[in-house]
Structure 1
Amino acid sequence: MSAAPAQRLKTAFTFALRELRGAKRGFGIFLACLVLGVMSIAGVGSFARALTDGLAREGRSILGGDAAFTLVQREATPAELSLLGSEGRIGRVALTRAMARGPSDDATLVELKAVDGAYPLVGTAELSPAQDLAAALGARGGIYGAVADETLFSRLTLKVGDTIRVGEATLQLRGVLSTEPDRLATGVGFGPRLLISDAALPATGLVQPGSLIRWSYRVVLNDQSPAALEAFLAKVRDGAPQAGFEVRTRDAASPQLERNVRRIAQYLTLVGLTALLVGGVGVANAVSAHLSEKREVIATLKALGATRGTIFGTYFLEVAMIAVLGIGIGLALGAMVPFAAAAVVAAYIPFPLSPHLDPMALVLAALYGALVTTAFTLWPLARAQEAPVSALFRDEIGAKRRWPSWRYVAGCALAAAGLVALAIGTAEDKRSAIIFIGAAMAVFVLLRLVAFGIMALARRLPRPRATMARLALANIHRPGALTPTVVLSLGLGLSLLTAIALIDRSLTAEINGTLAEKAPSFFFVDIPSSEEEAFAAFIAKHAEGATYKSVPMLRGRITALNDTPAEKVTPAPDAAWVLQSDRGISFGDTVPDGSSVVEGRWWSPDEAEPQVSFDRKLAEGLGLKLGDTVTVNVLGRELSAKLTNYREVRWERLGINFVMQFNPATFAGAPYSVLATLTFPDGAGSAKELAFMREVARAYPAVTTVRVKEALDQANKMIGDLSFGIRIASLVTLLTSILVLAGALAAGHQHRVYDAVVLKTLGATRRGLVGAYALEYAGLGLATAAFSIAAGSVAAYFVVTRVMDISFTFAPGAAVGGVVLALAFTVGFGLLGTWRALSQPPVRVLRHL
């Protein structure tokens, strides 16, 4: 660096330090906005990393071993068992759903888990009262033991020592299952856990040809090194290529949970970025207000020979130092979030936390903060240093629109582009990130247009006769009006909250309304094919007038598409789940109820070639087209079928439908179970449904009965919990909006003092001025609320109908809530600042006129 630029930089730095001495009050909102936004992004990133690292750290315990190999509807052969146990210890776990009946014949669905004597290979299962698990599950007096979640005891009004019936077996409950080390690996269930020994499983009669039982073989290797694990996986693949194992390792013990954690973290990061962008408006306002107060200083410096570069450098360095402070505070608070979470909520969530400082999350949050600061401060700084000395002495900065030079415009554009690139580049789901950012940018632009539209409309409206009403109308469109800031600051936060509220309302209405009305009353799983006719006759006798439907069902996993192994296929994000595990499949000669062929042809009953029908959206997500080949592994055999048609499936009806429907020739002679539904006309009422469940459980103890109402209630609870968490997180955006609004009103305080003093001198009363300002703020609040409701409704409609593919339900309560919030904040903060302005002694202003 040459001497002249170095001297100018030193001068600018000296001036910036001096300017900081008087900048504490003006930059309070600046700091608060940056701290909130950076803290939310750093906190979310650090907490998500604490969860994923916790899952990785506890991977062996969660999985139950170094690797797990799962089969559906069949057990491993002796040769496969020998292969799996060749490099270490092996344990077996069987998972299925069943009906548990108490002494009073009350029945409930349970998630049944049968374990061998080696369970758990890793971790500890804790019981209450404390006892050895193997002893608790063993046979005593010809009765096997069992342990269960506390929920089962409360549902069936049981206590330790009572007996229950599961299938054809009588089991004694010998303890409460307090801790189950591999619970996360088995996913979310519809019922409480019931743990039994694998010796007791045959006695239940649940193991039948085609029964939907998942057999999981966990392996603890003698050599724990990553290389040994990779070599073992390759050995199993080569030694049993047709087995159809679903393989998981300790490094991805619960992949679906990890994906969900990353997706939720991505959403919350984008919400935090939205808050930071709203805070950017506050940053720009704070810088503009500060420069407005310094207009005489800037004019004096320029008159004394200071260059535009020196002026720009002085205030840019001042802003940068304050930004560094704000970002630093935000990073410190964000870094504390996972530690605080571990101390406060670790006991309430079933996920292992590993809190620690995450440098990448902090660096990402710091970059966001720096880019937002740059994007929102370059413009007012450039306008200030470009203004002529005469304008600075005569007018307030910003009273006239001045475009800065192209260098600063390009700088703002580059900072904005950097924000977009950073958000998309670090996103788990880039498509969702692009949609979110695009929507946020569109709302920003629309809010500016709405603000200009309100000002233009106010300018053209007839002037009211009442003086105070005329003043309120003039304040909305006059030069330096607060309209753009008020609309922009509150509009984005309210739009986001409205969209979340309407999405939540639509989901709840779909579950409680459309789904509850169209869904069957019961699902029956694991009906043996040999007993299908007898079961149908039983249903006809005990549920007269109800509609009974049944289809054959197997479980299979897609292993290849057009000879390309499934693990090498790159599907669309919303179709990836189809390849991640086994799927329910069926076969038949007719198009299933609730779906229709939209392209291709349905097969005829006499066709012998294996054929498959696919849900159209999922087929497109997997890159399939008509004529392609789909290979599935069912019962240890790989079968290939030709894709001959697409179906449009109406999943919202909760009828019997499958992603893949095959023709009967594909599975000729294969053992299968039957899946059935029962629908009572106009509902049956809880008492009748529960009594019917007891009858089915008593007559067919091996058949699993799922009461749809209970499943919907659980789905409702999950959605409610998730929506509540998202709303709380989204309040950060609203809080930032409130800060920006407060800052804007504070920046306009001098205008209000000047106006109030002049008007009071001319005869205006305090009551009249308060009324005028209340009208102004109420008008702005109503206009902002109207736009927010419209924008939030459009966003929610798009998400609900296009992404979730359900009906949209408008909630008037969300609209009323938006209006009340907007009015409360704008009128409340506005009148608070106005009251302060009206309290100023006139002499302080009049002596400077």
Structure 2
Amino acid sequence: MSAAVENAAAGVGAASPAERGRLQDLRLALRFALREMRGGLSGFAIFLACLTLGVASIAAVNSVSQMMTGGIEREGRTILGGDMRFGLNQRRASPDERAYLAGLGTVAESGSLRSMARLPDGSNQTLTEVKAVDPAAYPLYGAAATTPAEPLATLLAERDGRFGAVVAPEFLDRLGLAAGAIVRLGTAEIEIRGVLDREPDVLSDGFIFAPRMMVSLQALDATALVQPGSLVEYDYKVRFTEPARDPAAVETEANARFPQAGWSIRDAAEAAPSLQRNIERFSQFLTLVGLTALIVGGVGVANAVSAYLDAKRSVIATFKSLGAGGSFVVTIYLLQILILATVGIALGLVLGALAPFATARFLEAYIPVAAHASVYPGALLIAALFGYLTALAFAILPLGRTRDVAATALFRANEQPGSLRLRWTYAGAALVLAVAIAGLALVMASDKGVAAVFLAATAVAFIVLRLVAFAIRKGAARLPRVRSTPLRLAIGNIHRPGALTSAVVLSLGLGLTLLVTLATIDTNLRSEIGTGIAARAPSFFFVDIQSGEIEPFRERIAALAPGSTLDAAPMLRGRIVQLNGVDVGKLTVPPEGAWVLRGDRGVTYSASAPENATLTEGQWWAPDYDGEPLVSFSAKEGGELGLKIGDTLTVNILGRNITARIANFRVVEWESMSINFVMVFSPATFRGAPHAWLATLETPGDDAAVERGVLRGISNDYPAVTTVRVKDALDAVNALIGQLALAIRAAASVALVASVLVLSGALAAGNRARVHDAVVLKTLGATRATLIRAYVIEYLSLGAVTAVFAVAAGALASWYVVARIMSLPFQFDPVVALATLVASLLLTVGFGLAGTWRVLGQKAAPVLREL
């Protein structure tokens, strides 16, 4: 015998008798569990469906999310446009900066700004996102696809005194043009020479508000759009000569060499940070919705296990009569539950694994990233963990109730499992599993705060629904005796032992509450954007008004729109680089305030407090103040960043770091759509700095002709001024919200489907007791019509109470999100309440009567023999 075999034999022999006994008991329990399952899985269809649905939703969301983020990471250089990207606002790189970048590798320069493109006769115009590139270098990675398929250097070159451009298809649609048409951009005429079918680095540019027009850098210079203070961004994309260079080391070196540059630096790992954050947040939300569906399905798991064990009383009685202990019986059925859970989870994982393959081509139409569908083990493992934890958390309680049941009691057909006592050991195990589910959800979440609130709300709703069901039963038991037989039977069914009250209220309550919450939030957002903000917002925004043109501009507006109100403010672009002398990249800030430190912010100066400002702390500076730079900061954002009066912040503007001390905080009403800034500086701060003006125009009434006149007149007279019609912007936002709402409602429908499954399972589980009741009542003279009326009253009552709770809880949750988190006015839509009530009644009465009809047809003799 070899040493390994001897050691193994010694190890087996060393096992204690107790350990060997436990192992033998486990093997025996597994044999009994498998043998008993030969009879089929009758009664576990809902169990499997609930687990499959919840696991599939979580696996699908995380798999698709990983597919998209993996695509962004895989094509990071193509999306970014280089190995590294250096962005500068309102200025081009200095010769020294450009020489440094050229030393890193090949450099592709581009400039981006918004402007108005007009027909040569001035009869029509559209807002466009202008991107000026160097055709000889662009793109460094990937390829731009155009129709016709010619090199960009050919399409954008100057011919016969006109530069060329390629544009997005939407650009041609808005102006009713075709390739070969001439448009005016600034002071230059541009020839449209093709359609831009694919722009490889479009995702790294952030949100594209208007259709793209791509021209050369020489063409941009010819348009005279770039003036001192113009809102233009220059990007320098670098393809390293040495591919192995460390981007972090390059960033450190660049900032050390040019500490005043104020450039934003990104590498391929952060190719599209906004998109990556949005995908992460959206997948987190959908995962939480899927987890809610799984928890709702857990109620179905508990119902199915209870019904299954109730049907197995004779088998359990046999085990106990032969000397099996309570732990042995629990082990047998726990193994069965785990085996069945594995089947349901496996089905869910298969569906989740197929999701990337099913959605890859669809998503590519909206997010221009090659989606290489694959199987994502990490996403599937997380979904499987959620599935097992949920199955065990909800199955452990009904399993625990069978431990101390006497064998004689199990032979009694009228014994109710719910009347059995529960050991604290099993209740504690269920609580530990619930905490594990919450812990796993928090570990996965990118925003721990949102996840914690979501989980807490779900737990509170679960507990409150239990209390609501308890209150209904107690209230029904205390009602005075009524003369109507159907009504008396309905009230008795609501509060009797084994009643369906808890199952119905709990199963439908969570799903309907989630739908009411999301529908109400969506309704409020659409109402606020489509009506509220539209009523308060100005008609136009004007950007890049030159300082020397502001007074003539006011006069022209007065002529084009008599009686209108024009508000204007000077504006520069700056990026906060330090808070209290500490680099913002080294600070840990809460997610809700981090947006202020990301990228560039609009800043202004003012001698007096803005008319729409309300100071919350501190004092405004004197009108003739000329001391150290002071700044007024938005109160909400300042609180989120932990700032206080006297703190300092450093802003980089036009390649210069300016440090100012916070003098006061003020309320900023962003939803008003008026001119608002996070930071307002004392006037002397920017003395001599070139800048443009921002203006808003509010026209009297809703005169479309006046708006068209303003748009056409300003575009022709001030070609360098960008005119944004607010209604068009709101329409774009509404369209985006509509797409998001559709996806969110589809995800929430998963929770409702789980609720319906649980409801049908709960009603089916209660049919056994209903059979006995119906047979006895019919034997005593009750007619089928009387019983049907009693059941309809019962289901109507339960459905109505559940709907009222869902509406109330959903309204409260949506109010918190809209009023407290979004700071928007809240209003409740009665249509949502009515739709919820109708859906609840239809589901409870429909499923209830569908199951009851079979009960009423049961023959009396077989049932009476068991009593």
Q: State whether TM-score is above 0.5.
A: yes
Aligned to 2:12: none
Segment drifting more, 1-10 vs 314-323:
1-10
- TM-superposed CA distance for 1:132, in Å, is 1.7
1:268-307 Cα distance to aligned partner (Å, 9 max, x none): 1101110110111000101100111111221222122101
- SS across alignment from 2:706: helix
1:93 equivalent in alignment to 2:110 = yes
Asked if structure 1 preserves the Cα contact closer than 8 Å seen for 2:83 and 2:267, the reply is yes
Asked if structure 1 preserves the Cα contact closer than 8 Å seen for 2:652 and 2:658, the reply is yes
Asked if structure 2 preserves the Cα contact closer than 8 Å seen for 1:295 and 1:397, the reply is no
Aligned to 2:241: 222
Counterparts of 1:510 and 1:171 in 2: how far apart (Å)? 39
- SS across alignment from 1:200: helix
Segment drifting more, 750-759 vs 663-672:
750-759
1:630 equivalent in alignment to 2:649 = yes
Asked if structure 2 preserves the Cα contact closer than 8 Å seen for 1:384 and 1:397, the reply is no
1:647 equivalent in alignment to 2:666 = yes
Aligned to 1:751: 769
Asked if structure 2 preserves the Cα contact closer than 8 Å seen for 1:38 and 1:368, the reply is yes
Code of the residue aligned with 1:318 in structure 2: it is: Q
- SS across alignment from 1:840: coil
Matches within 5 A, 1:313-324: 313-324=331-342
- TM-superposed CA distance for 1:845, in Å, is 1.9
Asked if structure 2 preserves the Cα contact closer than 8 Å seen for 1:523 and 1:705, the reply is yes
Aligned to 1:457: 475
1:69 equivalent in alignment to 2:69 = no
- TM-superposed CA distance for 1:23, in Å, is 4.7
Asked if structure 2 preserves the Cα contact closer than 8 Å seen for 1:593 and 1:657, the reply is no
- SS across alignment from 1:384: coil
Structure 1 residue runs without a partner (length 5+): none
Residues 840, 395 of structure 1: alpha-carbon distance in 2 compared, 3 angstrom cutoff:
closer
Structure 2 residue runs without a partner (length 5+): 1-14
- SS across alignment from 1:18: helix
Matches within 5 A, 1:126-525: 126-225=145-244, 227-394=245-412, 398-525=416-543
1:32 equivalent in alignment to 2:49 = yes
- SS across alignment from 1:211: coil
Counterparts of 1:487 and 1:442 in 2: how far apart (Å)? 14
- SS across alignment from 1:802: helix
Segment drifting more, 603-612 vs 562-571:
603-612
Code of the residue aligned with 1:673 in structure 2: it is: A
**Which of 583, 596, 602 pairs up with 1:565?**
583
Aligned to 1:768: 786
Asked if structure 2 preserves the Cα contact closer than 8 Å seen for 1:502 and 1:811, the reply is yes
Segment drifting more, 416-425 vs 351-360:
351-360
- TM-superposed CA distance for 1:127, in Å, is 1.0
Residues 396, 213 of structure 1: alpha-carbon distance in 2 compared, 3 angstrom cutoff:
farther
Residues 581, 398 of structure 1: alpha-carbon distance in 2 compared, 3 angstrom cutoff:
farther
Segment drifting more, 297-306 vs 611-620:
297-306
Aligned to 1:614: 633
Counterparts of 1:747 and 1:572 in 2: how far apart (Å)? 48
- SS across alignment from 2:866: coil
Aligned to 2:24: 7
Aligned to 1:47: 64
Counterparts of 2:524 and 2:194 in 1: how far apart (Å)? 42
1:714 equivalent in alignment to 2:732 = yes
**Which of 53, 78, 82 pairs up with 2:95?**
78
1:547 equivalent in alignment to 2:565 = yes
- TM-superposed CA distance for 1:397, in Å, is 5.9
Q: TM-score, normalised by structure 2?
A: 0.96
Counterparts of 1:345 and 1:318 in 2: how far apart (Å)? 40
Aligned to 2:846: 828
Counterparts of 2:287 and 2:416 in 1: how far apart (Å)? 33
Counterparts of 1:217 and 1:400 in 2: how far apart (Å)? 70
Asked if structure 1 preserves the Cα contact closer than 8 Å seen for 2:401 and 2:417, the reply is no
- SS across alignment from 1:643: strand
Code of the residue aligned with 1:309 in structure 2: it is: S
Asked if structure 2 preserves the Cα contact closer than 8 Å seen for 1:70 and 1:245, the reply is yes
- TM-superposed CA distance for 1:592, in Å, is 1.8
1:373-404 Cα distance to aligned partner (Å, 9 max, x none): 11111111111112223332336564554443
Residues 279, 396 of structure 1: alpha-carbon distance in 2 compared, 3 angstrom cutoff:
farther
Aligned to 1:594: 612
Code of the residue aligned with 2:349 in structure 1: it is: L
Segment drifting more, 405-414 vs 143-152:
405-414
Counterparts of 1:41 and 1:512 in 2: how far apart (Å)? 33
Counterparts of 1:396 and 1:253 in 2: how far apart (Å)? 66
- SS across alignment from 2:660: strand
Asked if structure 2 preserves the Cα contact closer than 8 Å seen for 1:83 and 1:239, the reply is no
Matches within 5 A, 1:577-592: 577-592=595-610
- TM-superposed CA distance for 1:238, in Å, is 2.1
Code of the residue aligned with 1:110 in structure 2: it is: T
Counterparts of 1:403 and 1:355 in 2: how far apart (Å)? 51
Asked if structure 2 preserves the Cα contact closer than 8 Å seen for 1:221 and 1:229, the reply is no
Asked if structure 2 preserves the Cα contact closer than 8 Å seen for 1:585 and 1:660, the reply is yes
Asked if structure 2 preserves the Cα contact closer than 8 Å seen for 1:594 and 1:653, the reply is no
RMSD: 1.4
Aligned to 2:742: 724
- TM-superposed CA distance for 1:252, in Å, is 0.9
Code of the residue aligned with 1:91 in structure 2: it is: A
Aligned to 2:806: 788
Asked if structure 1 preserves the Cα contact closer than 8 Å seen for 2:561 and 2:706, the reply is no
Segment drifting more, 81-90 vs 459-468:
459-468
Residues 397, 247 of structure 1: alpha-carbon distance in 2 compared, 3 angstrom cutoff:
farther
Counterparts of 2:642 and 2:260 in 1: how far apart (Å)? 24
Code of the residue aligned with 1:28 in structure 2: it is: A
Code of the residue aligned with 2:603 in structure 1: it is: I
Residues 836, 197 of structure 1: alpha-carbon distance in 2 compared, 3 angstrom cutoff:
same
- SS across alignment from 2:266: strand
- TM-superposed CA distance for 1:343, in Å, is 4.2
- TM-superposed CA distance for 1:228, in Å, is 3.5
Counterparts of 2:714 and 2:365 in 1: how far apart (Å)? 39
Counterparts of 1:257 and 1:346 in 2: how far apart (Å)? 14
Counterparts of 2:635 and 2:368 in 1: how far apart (Å)? 37
Counterparts of 2:676 and 2:370 in 1: how far apart (Å)? 36
- TM-superposed CA distance for 1:611, in Å, is 0.4
1:445-473 Cα distance to aligned partner (Å, 9 max, x none): 11011111111111122233221121111
Counterparts of 1:602 and 1:354 in 2: how far apart (Å)? 56
Residues 119, 466 of structure 1: alpha-carbon distance in 2 compared, 3 angstrom cutoff:
same
Q: TM-score, normalised by structure 1?
A: 0.98
Counterparts of 2:692 and 2:366 in 1: how far apart (Å)? 39
After TM superposition, what 4+ stretches of structure 1 lie above 4 angstroms from structure 2? 395-400
1:140-173 Cα distance to aligned partner (Å, 9 max, x none): 1101111111111111111111111111111111
- TM-superposed CA distance for 1:811, in Å, is 0.9
- SS across alignment from 2:818: helix
Segment drifting more, 233-242 vs 725-734:
233-242
- SS across alignment from 1:439: helix
Code of the residue aligned with 1:16 in structure 2: it is: A
Asked if structure 2 preserves the Cα contact closer than 8 Å seen for 1:570 and 1:622, the reply is no
1:403-454 Cα distance to aligned partner (Å, 9 max, x none): 4323222211110111111111111000000100000000001101111111
Counterparts of 1:340 and 1:280 in 2: how far apart (Å)? 28
1:19 equivalent in alignment to 2:48 = no
Aligned to 2:5: none
- TM-superposed CA distance for 1:348, in Å, is 4.5
Counterparts of 2:279 and 2:432 in 1: how far apart (Å)? 31
- TM-superposed CA distance for 1:643, in Å, is 0.6
